[in-house]
C-alpha cells in the first residue's frame, strides 16, 4: 500500500467517524450500518479470493453461520448478545476448517463446486432443522444490544453505527497487516505461480487451510453483529442474491486490493438501497448489480476503482 | 422392508434420471469449453415457466408447451454463451471469470422471471395421466416417462457425440481447440452449439420437473446443487461417468431418505462427499490428472 492510499483510507475513516454528527435520521444510518457489514464480508472474501487466489464461493456460508450462531445462542440458550456476536467468529472458523480439509487438495473448478455446494448445504440444514433455526421463517426478536442501561438502538442507532464501523476498521487493519506479512506474500506467490511457490517450500495445502480460517473469523463475527443488529436470522443469508451482491462488491472494488471492496461496498449498498425505494426496481436492482459486475469484468478486470486511480495518476503526469 | 424397498428404488431411479439430465448438460459444456455454467438451474426454471405460459395461459397444449420450454432454454443458453462467455475466451482466468458471469446470468434470469411471472406458484399438467406399476410399485405415468426418457436422451447424446459429424466436432474442440480449428471446425460455432444443447437439456429437465413440483423462481436451485454433487462425485470429464454418478447419487439419496428421513439426507450426503474427496480428490470415478 502506498503512502497516498494510506492517507486516503485514513481520511475516509475520519469522514465515517464524523458522519453521525451530520446524519441524524435512523434510516440513513441503517444503510451505513448495512454497508459496514457488507464491506466487512467483502474484504474478508477478498483475502481468500483476491489475495489467496482460492476459488472460494462459499464465503457467505461463514457469514450465515455467524448469523445463526448468534441467533440460536441468544434465543434458545439466553446468552448475552455480546458473547453471541463473537461466538459467530468461532463457529465460522471451525466450519472453515471443516471445508478446508477437502478443499486443500482439490484443483480448479472442483474448489468452486465444493465451496458453493457447502453454502447451499448450510441453507438446507437451516431449513430442515426448524426446531432450532426456525426453518423458512427464521428466528426473530433477538435481544437488543446494551451496555448497562444504554440500548444501542437509542440516539438513532448511534451505538450500532460505531460498533459496525469499529468491526470493519479492525478487520481492514488486520487484513492489511496479513496482506503485507510473509504469510500474505506467500499467498500471493501461490496465486501467481503455484509451482514456483511450492518449489520454494510453501505448502499450498497448509496456506489454503489458514487463509480460509482467517477469512472466516471476522466474517462470522460480522454475521453475529448482523443478526443482533437486525434482531432476525433468516435463511436468505445463504442465498444466491446476497452472494452475488457481495461478490460484485469484491470485483467492482478490485479483487486483491482490500480497500477497493470497502469503497465498492459502501457505494453499492447505497445504490441498491436507493433503487429499492423506487417502485418497480425492487427486483431489478439485483439485475442492475449483476450487469454492472459483468461490465466491470469485461472492461476493467482489476476493478472499477482501478480505473479512477489510473486516471488520477495520468492527470498528475500531465 | 420388502414393501418399501421397491418404491424407494423406483424413486431413486426417478431422482437419478433427473440428475442425469441436469448433470449431463453441465458435463457437456465443461468438456467442450472448460466452463461451468452456474446459470444451468436458472435455465431449467426458465424452461418450466415458458412451458407453463404456452400450455396454460395461451392454452396451446402440453406438447407445444414442451417444445417452447425446451426451445426458450436453448435460446437463452446460446445468448449466455454469446454475451457472457465469449468475451472472456482470451482471458487467462477464463474458468474463474465465467463462474462469475454465469452466476450473474443466473441472478438476471431468476430475478427477471420473478418480475415477469410474479411470485404465485404454478404447475404444469402432466404429459400423460394415469398410473403404471413398476415391479409392483405404483408410479404415476409421468414419472415412469421420466425414468424411461432420461436413459433414452442420454443414449441419444452418447450416439450424437460419438457418431455424428457435428457431435464429434464438440469432442474435438474439447480436446484441442487449435487442432480442431486447423482441420476446419468452426470453434466459436461449436461453443454455441454446446451451450444451446446443454441449455435444451436443462429446459427439458425443467419442463419434466414442472409437473411434479410447484414452479417457483427458485425451482432450479436445488437440482443445480444436486447436479453439482453428482459432477463432483463423477468428475466432469465424461458423459458415462456423470450419468453413472447421477444414478448412484439418486439411489443413495432415496435410501437415505428411507432410513434417516428427509431432514438429515442432504447433510449425510455432503459429509459423504467430503470424505470421498479427502481420499479421492478427483472424484469417485475420476482419473488422477
Which residues in chain B (128-167) have CB-CB distances under 8 A to chain A?
A: none
- Closest residue in B to A111 (Cα) is B232
Within the 108-127 window of chain B, which residues sit less than 8 Å (CB to CB) from chain A?
108, 110-112, 114-115
**Is B124:B215 a contact under the CB 8 Å cutoff?**
yes
Q: What is the mean pLDDT of residues B193-201?
A: 94
Question: What is the mean pLDDT of the segment spanning B106-128?
Answer: 87
Name the most confidently modeled range: A155-159, A192-196, B42-46, B256-260: B42-46
Check if the beta carbon of residue A303 is closer than 8 Å to that of residue A263. Answer: no
pLDDT of residue A313: 60
User: What pLDDT is attached to residue A104?
Assistant: 84
Cβ B231–A113 below 8 Å, yes or no?
yes
Bridge partners of residue B132, in order along the sequence: B139
Comparing A87-96, B66-75, B115-124, which segment has the lowest mean pLDDT? B115-124
Q: DSSP alpha helices (H): ranges in A47-150? A: 59-75, 81-103, 109-128, 130-133
Nearest to B108 among A110, A248, A287 (CB): A287
Q: Chain B closest CA to A46's CA: distance in Å? A: 14
Mutation target among A53, A125, A240, A247 for the B interface, most CBs of B within 10 A: A240
- Contact across the interface for B107 and A114, Cβ inside 8 Å: no
Residues B196, B189, B104, A116, Cα dihedral to 10°: 70
**Residues on chain A touching B281 (C-beta within 8 angstroms):** 102, 105-107, 110
Q: What's the average model confidence in pLDDT over A19-42? A: 88
Write out chain A residues lying below 8 Å of B113, CB-based.
none
Quick one: pLDDT at residue A22? 84
CB B107 within 8 A of CB B125: no
What's the mean per-residue pLDDT of chain B?
A: 87
Beta strands in chain B (DSSP E): 131-134, 137-140
Whole-number pLDDT of residue A307 = 61
Cell of A162: 460505531
Shortest alpha-carbon distance between residue A97 and chain B (Å) = 12
pLDDT number for residue A216: 94
Mean pLDDT confidence for B242-263? 87
Burial of B182 (0-12, 13-18, 19+ CB in 10 A): exposed
Considering only CA atoms, which of A200, A294, A299, A312 is closest in space to residue A248? A294
Q: pLDDT value at position A309?
A: 61
Mean pLDDT score, A116-124: 85
Q: Please provide the size of chain B in residues.
A: 289
For the cut 50, the answer to whether the pLDDT of residue B229 exceeds it is yes
Q: What is the pTM of this model?
A: 0.87
Of the candidate ranges A148-152, A166-170, A283-287, the one whose mean pLDDT is the lowest: A148-152
Share of chain A above pLDDT 90, in %: 25
Least confident piece of the model among A15-19, A281-285, A287-291: A281-285
Question: Given a cut of 80, is residue B262 above it in pLDDT?
Answer: no
Q: Give the closest residue to B204 by CA, choosing from B52, B43, B11.
A: B43
CB contact, 8 Å: A302 with chain B? Answer: no
Q: Does B87 touch chain A (CB under 8 A)?
A: yes
Q: Report the chain A residue with the minimal C-alpha distance to residue B225.
A: A117
Q: B16: closest CA among B268, B271, B255, B251?
A: B251
Tell me what pLDDT residue A305 has. Answer: 65
> Given this model, what pLDDT does residue A314 score?
56
Residue A251 near chain B (CB below 8 Å): yes
For chain A, the average pLDDT equals 85
Residue B203: pLDDT over 70: yes
pLDDT attached to residue B284: 65
Name the B residues in 192-251 with CB < 8 Å from any A CB.
Answer: 221, 225, 228-229, 231-232, 236
Residue B283 confidence (pLDDT): 66
pLDDT at A24: 82
Q: How far apart are the first and last CA of chain A?
A: 24
Q: What is the pLDDT of residue A318?
A: 45
Q: Is the pLDDT of residue A317 over 50?
A: no
Assign A301 to helix, strand or coil: coil
Is the pLDDT reported for residue A274 higher than 80? yes
User: What is the average pLDDT across B164-185?
Assistant: 87
Among A residues 122-161, those touching chain B with beta carbons less than 8 Å apart: 124-125, 128-129
User: Does the structure show a pLDDT above 50 at B289?
Assistant: no
Nearest chain B residue (CA) to A289: B104
Amino acid at each position: 500500500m502506498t503512502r497516498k492510499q494510506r492517507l486516503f483510507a485514513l481520511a475516509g475513516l475520519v469522514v465515517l467517524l464524523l458522519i453521525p454528527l451530520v446524519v441524524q435520521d435512523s434510516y440513513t444510518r441503517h444503510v451505513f450500518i448495512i454497508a459496514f457489514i457488507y464491506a466487512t464480508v467483502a474484504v474478508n472474501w477478498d483475502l481468500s479470493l483476491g489475495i489467496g487466489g482460492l476459488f472460494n464461493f462459499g464465503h457467505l456460508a461463514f457469514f450465515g453461520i455467524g448469523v445463526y450462531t448468534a441467533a440460536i445462542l441468544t434465543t434458545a440458550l439466553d446468552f448475552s448478545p455480546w458473547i453471541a456476536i463473537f461466538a459467530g467468529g468461532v463457529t465460522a472458523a471451525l466450519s472453515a476448517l471443516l471445508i478446508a480439509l477437502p478443499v486443500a487438495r482439490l484443483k480448479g473448478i472442483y474448489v468452486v463446486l465444493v465451496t458453493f455446494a457447502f453454502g447451499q448445504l448450510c441453507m438446507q440444514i437451516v431449513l430442515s432443522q426448524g426446531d432450532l433455526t426456525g426453518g423458512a421463517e427464521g428466528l426473530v426478536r433477538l435481544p437488543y444490544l446494551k451496555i448497562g442501561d444504554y440500548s444501542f438502538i437509542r440516539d438513532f442507532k448511534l451505538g450500532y453505527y460505531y460498533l459496525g464501523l469499529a468491526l470493519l476498521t479492525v478487520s481492514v487493519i488486520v487484513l492489511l497487516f496479513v496482506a503485507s506479512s510473509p504469510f500474505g506474500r506467500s499467498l500471493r506467490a501461490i496465486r501467481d505461480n503455484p509451482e514456483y511457490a511450492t518449489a520454494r517450500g510453501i505448502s499450498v495445502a497448509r496456506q489454503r487451510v489458514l487463509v480460509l480460517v482467517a477469512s472466516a473469523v471476522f466474517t462470522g463475527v460480522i454475521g453475529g453483529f448482523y443478526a443482533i443488529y437486525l434482531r432476525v436470522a433468516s435463511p436468505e443469508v445463504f442465498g444466491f442474491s446476497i452472494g452475488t451482491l457481495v461478490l460484485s462488491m469484491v470485483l467492482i472494488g478490485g479483487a486483491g486490493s482490500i480497500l477497493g471492496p470497502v469503497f465498492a461496498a459502501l457505494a453499492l449498498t447505497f445504490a441498491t438501497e436507493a433503487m429499492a425505494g423506487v417502485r418497480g426496481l425492487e427486483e431489478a436492482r439485483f439485475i442492475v448489480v449483476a450487469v454492472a459486475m459483468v461490465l466491470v469484468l469485461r472492461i476493467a478486470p482489476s476493478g472499477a476503482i482501478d480505473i479512477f486511480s489510473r486516471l488520477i495518476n495520468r492527470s498528475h503526469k500531465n | 422392508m420388502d414393501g418399501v424397498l421397491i418404491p424407494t428404488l423406483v424413486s431413486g431411479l426417478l431422482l437419478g434420471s433427473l440428475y442425469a439430465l441436469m448433470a449431463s448438460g453441465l458435463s457437456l459444456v465443461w468438456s467442450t469449453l472448460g466452463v461451468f455454467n452456474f446459470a444451468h438451474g436458472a435455465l431449467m426454471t426458465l424452461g418450466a415457466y415458458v412451458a407453463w405460459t404456452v400450455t396454460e395461459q395461451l392454452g396451446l397444449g402440453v406438447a407445444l408447451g414442451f417444445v417452447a420450454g425446451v426451445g426458450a432454454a436453448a435460446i437463452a443458453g446460446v445468448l449466455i454463451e454469446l454475451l457472457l462467455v465469449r468475451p472472456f475466451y482470451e482471458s487467462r482466468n477464463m474458468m474463474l471469470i465465467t463462474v462469475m458471469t454465469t452466476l450473474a446470468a443466473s441472478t438476471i434470469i431468476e430475478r427477471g422471471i420473478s418480475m415477469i411471472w410474479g411470485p404465485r406458484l404454478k404447475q404444469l399438467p402432466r404429459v400423460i395421466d394415469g398410473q403404471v406399476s413398476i415391479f409392483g410399485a405404483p408410479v404415476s405415468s409421468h414419472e415412469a416417462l421420466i425414468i424411461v426418457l432420461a436413459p433414452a436422451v442420454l443414449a441419444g447424446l452418447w450416439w450424437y457425440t460419438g457418431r455424428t459429424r457435428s457431435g464429434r466436432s464438440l469432442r474435438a474442440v474439447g480436446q484441442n481447440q487449435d487442432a480442431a480449428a486447423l482441420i476446419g471446425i468452426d470453434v466459436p460455432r461449436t461453443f454455441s452449439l454446446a451451450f444451446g444443447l446443454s441449455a435444451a437439456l436443462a429446459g427439458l429437465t425443467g419442463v419434466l420437473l414442472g409437473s411434479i413440483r410447484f414452479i417457483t423462481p427458485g425451482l432450479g436451485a436445488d437440482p443445480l446443487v444436486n447436479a453439482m454433487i453428482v459432477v463432483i462425485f463423477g468428475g466432469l470429464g465424461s458423459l458415462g461417468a456423470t450419468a453413472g454418478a447421477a444414478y448412484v447419487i439418486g439411489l443413495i439419496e432415496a435410501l437415505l431418505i428411507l432410513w434417516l428421513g428427509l431432514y438429515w439426507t442432504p447433510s449425510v450426503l455432503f459429509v459423504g462427499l467430503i470424505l470421498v474427496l479427502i481420499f479421492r480428490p478427483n472424484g469417485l470415478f475420476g482419473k488422477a490428472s
